[in-house]
Amino acid sequence: MAVTKVSMEALRILDPLSSFLDARLKELADVCCIEQVHRTVDPFDLRPIAGQSVYVVRGELALVYGQGSSEVIVGGSAEARHPLGKRRLFSSAKAVTDVQLIRIDDDLLDIMLTWDQVAKHEQAGTRQPAERTPSGTDWGVMSGLFGINNLRFGAFSQLPPAHIDELLRRFERVEAKAGEVIIREGAEGDYYYLVESGRCQVERLIGGVSITLADIKSGDTFGEEALVAETKRNATVTMKTDGSLLRVAKQDFNALLREPLLHGINMEQARQKVSEGAQWIDVRYPSEYQYDRLPGARNIPLSEIRNAFGALDMSEEYIVYCQSGRRSSAAAFLLAQRGYHVFVLEGGLWGGDRLP
């Protein structure tokens, strides 16, 4: 089966990808491919669907369900906007015509959805002035902070999702001039930095000679090693141009990284609480919620959770969930900070059996 690169336009019409900004769609397009499947072939014989969101882009794909029922998904149709098998499991598939598919890793997609929704909180400007994040910062397009590689493998991949919102709030903007030293080799670690604009140069003394190690551009981050490893700075970072930096203090970064404050429960415990009157809150997008919500669940997307402050009953208990637990953890943190009695379904809908 041949593969070709996917376009932003192809991703833009899919749910829940349609919520992403162009910068995010471009990143996703760079790591996705269109898979060409010939007529009569089952595309999942050689490449299973488990752990992936798969979309039909073009052609007709027949899905066979339990008890012999079947359905044909046609690329470009309303049904093809949604990933295969998420609302109803199928036993086999066969290409009725030549078919084009897009496959996206479920874990990657869930990470991106989590950060995307939290970023939209911050851009909405719903905080009081004293609480707001650095004025004018567009978190949704900060490639360093929100870049795919950083979310999956960088320092922020270790951050409990519940603390994302608080971390963004604690960033402080610092204007810097060309030639200004931001970090000096051998100094104690004090801040973690994100370059909002401008460029920096990283240098290290080797054998008494200063060696340039790297250039840092807008969107890149630096300074995490000394904070996480509790060591001194191992390089000097100097501004090459005038620019603007966002920084968060060591104590805040470490506290948010290492001290999760959530109360997680498993499905059995959640079932018991629901029988006693607790309420489900589904914090996914409506396009996800409509197909596999838990019985009685209320849909309050993470990006809208602030609008629920004051509307939810403070005397009630709530159990929030999403696909994996990432978005629900972030929502639970926000609710808990306002005094709500809230629990997170551990592992989300992927973590165990659903309620009947």
CB 195 within 8 A of CB 245: yes
Residue 157 sits at φ, ψ, to 5 deg, of -65, -20
> 308 and 340 in contact (C-beta within 8 Å)?
no
Q: How far, in Å, CA of 172 to CA of 196, rounded?
A: 11
Per DSSP, which regions of 217-337 are E strands?
221-222, 236-239, 243-249, 264-265, 279-282, 298-299, 317-321
Tell me how far apart the 2 most distant CA atoms of the chain are, in Å.
75
3-state secondary structure of 16: coil
Question: Which regions of the chain does DSSP assign to beta strands (E)?
Answer: 3-5, 33-37, 52-58, 60-64, 70-74, 92-95, 99-105, 172-176, 181-183, 191-197, 200-206, 209-216, 221-222, 236-239, 243-249, 264-265, 279-282, 298-299, 317-321, 341-345
Residue appearing with tokens 């004090």 = 190
User: Residues 4, 10, 14, CA angle at the centre, nearest 5°?
Assistant: 130
How far is the CA of 274 from the CAs of 44, 268, 282, 297, in angstroms?
A: 37, 10, 14, 10
Q: How far apart are CA 110 and CA 114, in angstroms?
A: 6
Kindly report the CA angle at 191 between 187 and 196, in degrees rounded to 5?
125
For residue 37, give both structure tokens.
């499947």
Determine the Cα–Cα distance for residues 58 and 55; give it in Å rounded to an integer.
9
Active site (catalytic) residues = 322
Output the CA torsion 34→38→43→45 (10° steps): -140
